[in-house]
């Protein structure tokens, strides 16, 4: 049996269809204007939590990148300072060889000793280098300069703490170098480290005895060479860590691209698809409106006169 | 032997009956757009026949001469079974609609995904700890961290407040509907009034169709709120059971009994009670948000050992609070200016249990809202379908009414023509007979 259809029924059905059509149109319009598929969690609960996770990940990656940049700046500062110290050491070695030569008289040796003292200060000055207002060679005591200039004290004022930068989840890279193992605590400690060596060289140059001259040619030179080796080790280590950070940068930017892509796939509207759907929906909506205008006003009334 | 004027009487009955039928058609057309109106139909019936002696010479029997037509009753066309179905659907629609509205509000409270929701602020909070780890000496970075943390806790409190409000609104709506001057009370008193009027009319042998429509429309509305069942107690007076209690009872002096406590509320009222209860969605979400806040407080404080970063007593979303100041933010386990191990450890909490708990919560809110929306859409279309069937039976079709109008108009015209014919015959009889010789 066919259903009896009344004017109110068809008007209701028409109204409902037009409402549904307009609702779908509005949703698509919202997708198009916002560019995202998900405007609230119920649009796609799984997609929402995934998008939230990816957003968190992305903001983490951005932060890691900025940590890497900061660490790179720190390491570059260290490397420059260590390079300067290396130059100073080369010069000190030349002077040492020159001063150890029997042809050098005491006046010349005193002049060389003066220069060695200057070089010692230069080394300390380089060790006191700062990055963004922080002493890079003081361990974690970054607001204390590691060495005092002048001859008053050669004692290391920093600590042995390690400073790290996080460059990935649970991946930390130390960015400071232990200058103390190179420079030491000076003559008073007799630790054969650089400052001790330089002070001894200076003393031997000024001493003028045969023993002094022997020391200049023998132990002093050996000790300076040993210090140079330590310096080179530290520089190699800094270089290796700089490389590691450079690698991290390229890895992070790759991850950032991937995550951005994933996030976009998860939450962004597929424009081509959405526009097509929107156009189709618009046609359907217009048709519903036109049909509504035509059908609902017609009844037997129109044909009875 | 019938009277000479018998045929006039028959025609008159025809005229009157057709006219009444046209009146009823007019009433139907006038109410074509009245909600809850059931179309009415004149039940035409031949009037009792008149016994005439016909052929009595042969067998003594008579014949029955029809005496015309009468409107026996005016019937309301309505299918009570469809009413039952419609009311059952209305109940689940009321339930689903209340749930969807409330869950939508709860979902909006979370404001996810966005750049200002708790998720984004958690990210910024971890960023701020990283910034502090990169520059532990910098008071500016610590100040930014403390401000960011305060914004985060404010957002926690705001979301918690809004969830409380969502539950409270459900309770308020329940109270307002069931209150002394609420919808239920009003409808109950109207139903009691209609019961009396309908009963009185039925006792007098009338059929109060329009009053019955009004009563049915009220019961329809009531059925959205809770489980409704209807029993005829005689004379078309209805007893209405509502949510497990008797709401309208014709046998009582006032005819209804409200307010009282519903024993088995279903429909919208049942949903509202559930939504307002501590085990309802809004307050469940709130306690899950409390768990997120608690996790944040304990995990950060466990690493920030010198002084608490968050108030250790504030372990709910409503009470979470930053007690650290720029001066007390701990960056390292040693007092050294550049020590940053604590800050780094806290920054490493990024993506940890706090974030995961929160993401799980938002996904759950989304899933439940989506399920409620689907249930609501289903209930709506089922209810629409039953309504269509009901409309199909009871609704006014203008085409049909036009047909009836033509039918009854023609009937009226034909009865009038019969009357004219009778008149002509009587004219012949009265004015033209017996004139021989005049």
Whether A28 maps to a domain, the answer reads no
CA trace torsion A260, A261, A265, A267 (10° rounding): 10
Query: The pTM is what?
Result: 0.83
Residue B243: its pLDDT value, please? 92
Residue B234: its pLDDT value, please? 87
Q: Specify whether the CB–CB gap between A55 and A260 falls below 8 A.
A: no
Q: Express each pLDDT in B361-412 by its tens digit.
A: 999 999 999 999 999 999 999 999 999 999 999 999 988 999 999 999 999 9
Testing the interface with A: which of B78, B86, B113, B353 to mutate, by most A Cβ within 10 A? B113
Contact B119 A170 (CB under 8 A): no
A53 to chain B, any CB pair closer than 8 A? The answer is yes
Whether B251 maps to a domain, the answer reads yes
Task: Say if residue B292 is in the same domain as residue B162.
Answer: yes
User: A3 to chain B: nearest residue by CA?
Assistant: B392
Q: How confident is the model at residue A103 (pLDDT cuts 50, 70, 90)?
A: confident
Task: Say if residue B64 is in the same domain as residue B92.
Answer: no
Per-residue CA distances from A231 to A225, B14, B35 (Å):
10, 126, 95
Burial class of residue B64, CB neighbours in 10 A (0-12, 13-18, 19+): exposed
Instruction: Please name which of B86, B151, B94 lies closest in space to residue B118, comparing C-alpha atoms.
Output: B151
At B153, list the tokens: 């806790």
- Which letter does DSSP use for residue B100 in this model? H
Contact B32 A8 (CB under 8 A): yes
Looking at the structure of chain B, the number of domains it has is 3
Task: Say if residue A105 is in the same domain as residue A231.
Answer: yes
Core vs surface per residue B307-340: b (16+ CB within 10 A) or e: ebbbbeebbbbbbbbbebeeeebbbbbeebbbbb
Residue A150: its pLDDT value, please? 85
Mean pLDDT, chain A, integer: 90
Whether A237 maps to a domain, the answer reads yes
Q: Specify whether the CB–CB gap between A43 and A272 falls below 8 A.
A: no
Whether B438 maps to a domain, the answer reads no
* Over residues B277-296, mean pLDDT: 96
Whether A43 maps to a domain, the answer reads no
Task: Say if residue A174 is in the same domain as residue A280.
Answer: no
Q: Specify whether the CB–CB gap between A4 and A275 falls below 8 A.
A: no
| Higher-scoring residue by pLDDT: A44, B434 | A44
CA separation for the pair A140, A163 (Å, rounded): 6
Q: Express each pLDDT in B149-168 by its tens digit.
A: 999 999 999 999 999 999 99
Whether A167 maps to a domain, the answer reads yes
* Over residues B51-69, mean pLDDT: 77
List the beta bridge partners of residue B11: none
Residue B215: its pLDDT value, please? 95
Task: Say if residue B283 is in the same domain as residue B409.
Answer: no
Contact B397 A63 (CB under 8 A): no
Core vs surface per residue A135-171: b (16+ CB within 10 A) or e: bbbbbbbbeebbbeeeeeebebbbbebbbbbbbbeee
Contact A166 B373 (CB under 8 A): no
CB count within 10 Å of CB A17 equals 16
Helix (H, G, I), strand (E, B) or coil at B14: helix
Whether B18 maps to a domain, the answer reads yes
At B330, list the tokens: 């701990």
Contact B393 A4 (CB under 8 A): yes
Enclosing domain of residue B126:
84-176+278-386
Q: Specify whether the CB–CB gap between B149 and B131 falls below 8 A.
A: no
Residue B265: its pLDDT value, please? 87
Task: Say if residue B171 is in the same domain as residue B184.
Answer: no
Core vs surface per residue A78-87: b (16+ CB within 10 A) or e: bbebbebbbe
Whether B120 maps to a domain, the answer reads yes
At A70, list the tokens: 């900061």
Whether B435 maps to a domain, the answer reads no
Task: Say if residue A290 is in the same domain as residue A199.
Answer: no
Which residue is listed with tokens 């930017």?
A: A253
Which residue is listed with tokens 């309802």?
A: B280
Q: Express each pLDDT in A263-305 by its tens digit.
A: 999 888 888 999 999 999 999 999 888 887 776 666 677 777 6
Q: How confident is the model at residue B247 (pLDDT cuts 50, 70, 90)?
A: very high
Task: Say if residue B366 is in the same domain as residue B342.
Answer: yes
Residue B202: its pLDDT value, please? 93
User: A64 to chain B: nearest residue by CA?
Assistant: B130
A49 to chain B, any CB pair closer than 8 A? The answer is yes
A73 to chain B, any CB pair closer than 8 A? The answer is no
Residue A269: its pLDDT value, please? 87
Instruction: Please name which of A52, A129, A261, A173 lies closest in space to residue B115, comparing C-alpha atoms.
Output: A52
Whether A186 maps to a domain, the answer reads yes
Task: Say if residue B91 is in the same domain as residue B172.
Answer: yes
* Over residues A60-70, mean pLDDT: 94
Whether B17 maps to a domain, the answer reads yes
Per mean pLDDT, which range of A111-115, B50-54, B431-435 is the poorest?
Answer: B50-54
Task: Say if residue A204 is in the same domain as residue A60.
Answer: yes
Looking at the structure of chain A, the number of domains it has is 2
Pick from A5, A59, A134: CB nearest B338 = A134
Residues of A in contact with B137 (CB under 8 A): 133-134, 142-143
Task: Say if residue B282 is in the same domain as residue B381.
Answer: yes
Would the pLDDT of B353 be above 90? Answer: yes
Task: Say if residue B307 is in the same domain as residue B422.
Answer: no
Whether B434 maps to a domain, the answer reads no
Q: For chain A, where are the alpha helices, taking DSSP H only?
A: 7-34, 45-100, 106-127, 180-183, 194-207, 210-217, 219-267, 271-296
Residue B1: its pLDDT value, please? 61
Q: What is chain A's alpha carbon radius of gyration, rounded to the nearest angstrom?
A: 39
B193 to chain A, any CB pair closer than 8 A? The answer is no
Task: Say if residue A155 is in the same domain as residue A255.
Answer: yes
Would the pLDDT of B310 be above 60? Answer: yes
* Over residues B180-190, mean pLDDT: 93
Contact A142 B336 (CB under 8 A): yes
Enclosing domain of residue A289:
271-298
Whether A9 maps to a domain, the answer reads no
Task: Say if residue B375 is in the same domain as residue B295.
Answer: yes
Indicate the angle between helix axes A45-100 and A219-267, nearest 10 degrees: 160
Task: Say if residue A134 is in the same domain as residue A283.
Answer: no
Percentage of residues in chain B having pLDDT higher than 90: 81
* Over residues A195-213, mean pLDDT: 90
Burial class of residue B396, CB neighbours in 10 A (0-12, 13-18, 19+): buried
Residue A188: its pLDDT value, please? 87
Burial class of residue B427, CB neighbours in 10 A (0-12, 13-18, 19+): exposed
Pick from B119, B402, B406: CB nearest A56 = B119
| Higher-scoring residue by pLDDT: B35, B58 | B35
Would the pLDDT of B53 be above 80? Answer: no
Task: Say if residue A65 is in the same domain as residue A207.
Answer: yes
Residues of B in contact with A59 (CB under 8 A): 123-124, 126-127
Residues of A in contact with B135 (CB under 8 A): 132, 134
Task: Say if residue A230 is in the same domain as residue A283.
Answer: no
List the beta bridge partners of residue A114: none
> What is the longest distance spanned by two Cα atoms in chain A?
142
Task: Say if residue B372 is in the same domain as residue B408.
Answer: no
List the beta bridge partners of residue A58: none
Whether A207 maps to a domain, the answer reads yes
Q: How confident is the model at residue A36 (pLDDT cuts 50, 70, 90)?
A: confident
Task: Say if residue B154 is in the same domain as residue B94.
Answer: yes
B36 to chain A, any CB pair closer than 8 A? The answer is no
Contact B113 A172 (CB under 8 A): no
Task: Say if residue A275 is in the same domain as residue A225.
Answer: no
Q: Are strands A134-135 and A130-131 parallel, antiparallel or unpaired?
A: antiparallel
Q: Express each pLDDT in A131-182 by its tens digit.
A: 988 999 999 999 899 999 888 788 999 999 899 999 988 899 999 999 999 9
Output the domain CATH number for residue A88. Answer: 1.20.1330.10
Whether A176 maps to a domain, the answer reads yes
Would the pLDDT of A1 be above 60? Answer: no
Would the pLDDT of B56 be above 70? Answer: no
* Over residues B119-135, mean pLDDT: 94
Task: Say if residue A102 is in the same domain as residue A239.
Answer: yes
Whether B407 maps to a domain, the answer reads yes
Q: Express each pLDDT in B28-45 by its tens digit.
A: 999 988 888 999 999 999
Task: Say if residue B292 is in the same domain as residue B230.
Answer: no
Q: Specify whether the CB–CB gap between B37 and B24 falls below 8 A.
A: no
Q: What are the φ/ψ torsions at residue B88 (nearest 5 degrees)?
A: -65, -40
Residue A295: its pLDDT value, please? 67
Residues of A in contact with B365 (CB under 8 A): 41-42, 45
CA separation for the pair A16, A18 (Å, rounded): 5
Task: Say if residue A105 is in the same domain as residue A204.
Answer: yes
Residue A305: its pLDDT value, please? 65
CA separation for the pair B22, B31 (Å, rounded): 14
Testing the interface with B: which of A2, A19, A42, A144 to mutate, by most B Cβ within 10 A? A42
Task: Say if residue A153 is in the same domain as residue A286.
Answer: no
């Amino acid at each position: 049996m066919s259903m009896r259809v009344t004017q109110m029924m068809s008007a209701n059905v028409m109204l409902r269809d037009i409402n549904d059509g307009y609702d779908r149109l509005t949703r698509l319009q919202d997708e198009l204007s916002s560019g995202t598929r998900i405007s609230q969690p119920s649009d796609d609960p799984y997609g929402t939590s995934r998008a939230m996770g990816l957003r968190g990940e992305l903001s983490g990656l951005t932060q890691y990148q900025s940590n890497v940049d900061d660490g790179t700046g720190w390491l570059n500062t260290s490397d420059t300072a260590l390079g300067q110290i290396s130059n100073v050491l080369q010069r000190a070695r030349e002077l040492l060889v020159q001063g150890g030569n029997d042809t050098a008289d005491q006046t010349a040796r005193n002049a060389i000793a003066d220069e060695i003292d200057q070089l010692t200060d230069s080394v300390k000055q380089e060790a006191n280098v700062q990055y963004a207002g922080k002493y890079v060679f003081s361990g974690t005591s970054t607001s204390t300069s590691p060495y005092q200039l002048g001859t008053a004290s050669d004692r290391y004022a920093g600590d042995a703490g390690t400073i790290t930068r996080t460059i990935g989840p649970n991946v930390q890279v130390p960015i400071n170098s232990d200058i103390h193992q190179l420079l030491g605590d000076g003559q008073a400690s007799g630790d054969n480290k650089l400052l001790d060596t330089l002070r001894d060289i200076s003393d031997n140059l000024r001493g003028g005895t045969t023993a002094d001259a022997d020391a200049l040619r023998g132990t002093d030179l050996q000790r300076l060479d040993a210090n140079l080796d330590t310096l080179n080790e530290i520089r190699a280590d800094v270089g290796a860590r700089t490389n590691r950070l450079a690698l991290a940068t390229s890895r992070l930017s790759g991850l950032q691209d991937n995550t951005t892509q994933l996030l976009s796939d998860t939450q962004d509207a597929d424009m081509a698809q959405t526009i097509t759907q929107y156009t189709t929906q618009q046609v359907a909506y217009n048709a519903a409106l036109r049909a509504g205008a035509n059908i609902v006003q017609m009844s037997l009334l129109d044909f009875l006169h | 032997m019938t009277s000479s004027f018998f045929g006039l009487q028959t025609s008159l009955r025809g005229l009157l009956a057709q006219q009444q039928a046209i009146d009823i058609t007019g009433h139907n057309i006038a109410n074509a757009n009245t909600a809850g109106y059931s179309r009415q139909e004149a039940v035409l019936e031949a009037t009792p026949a008149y016994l005439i002696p016909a052929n009595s010479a042969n067998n003594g029997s008579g014949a029955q001469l029809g005496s015309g037509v009468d409107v026996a009753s005016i019937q309301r066309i309505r299918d009570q079974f469809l009413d039952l179905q419609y009311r059952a659907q209305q109940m689940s629609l009321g339930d689903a609609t209340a749930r969807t509205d409330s869950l939508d509000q709860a979902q909006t409270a979370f404001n996810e995904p966005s750049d200002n929701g708790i998720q984004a602020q958690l990210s910024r909070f971890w960023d701020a700890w990283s910034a502090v780890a990169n520059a532990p000496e910098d008071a500016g970075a610590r100040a930014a961290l403390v401000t960011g943390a305060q914004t985060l806790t404010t957002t926690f409190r705001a979301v918690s407040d809004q969830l409380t409000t969502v539950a409270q609104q459900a309770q308020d709506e329940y109270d307002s509907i069931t209150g002394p001057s609420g919808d239920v009370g009003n409808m109950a008193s109207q139903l009691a009034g209609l019961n009396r009027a309908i009963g009185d009319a039925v006792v007098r042998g009338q059929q109060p169709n329009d009053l019955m429509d009004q009563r049915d429309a009220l019961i329809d509305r009531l059925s959205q709120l809770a489980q409704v069942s209807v029993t005829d107690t005689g004379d078309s007076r209805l007893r209405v059971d509502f949510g497990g209690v008797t709401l309208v009872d014709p046998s009582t002096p006032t005819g209804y009994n409200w307010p009282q406590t519903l024993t088995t509320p279903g429909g919208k009222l049942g949903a509202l009670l559930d939504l307002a209860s501590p085990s309802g969605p809004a307050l469940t979400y709130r306690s899950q948000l409390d768990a997120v806040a608690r996790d944040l407080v304990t995990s950060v404080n466990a690493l920030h050992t010198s002084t608490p970063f968050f108030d250790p007593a504030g372990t709910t979303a409503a009470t979470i609070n930053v007690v650290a100041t720029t001066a007390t933010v701990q960056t390292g386990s040693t007092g050294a200016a550049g020590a940053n191990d604590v800050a780094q450890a806290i920054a490493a909490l990024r993506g940890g249990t706090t974030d995961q708990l929160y993401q799980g919560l938002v996904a759950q809110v989304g899933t439940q809202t989506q399920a409620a929306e689907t249930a609501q859409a289903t209930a709506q279309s089922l209810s629409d379908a039953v309504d269509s069937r009901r409309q199909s039976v009871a609704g006014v079709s203008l085409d049909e009414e036009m047909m009836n109008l033509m039918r009854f108009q023609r009937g009226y015209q034909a009865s009038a023509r019969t009357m004219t014919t009778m008149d002509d015959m009587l004219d012949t009889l009265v004015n033209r007979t017996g004139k021989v010789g005049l």
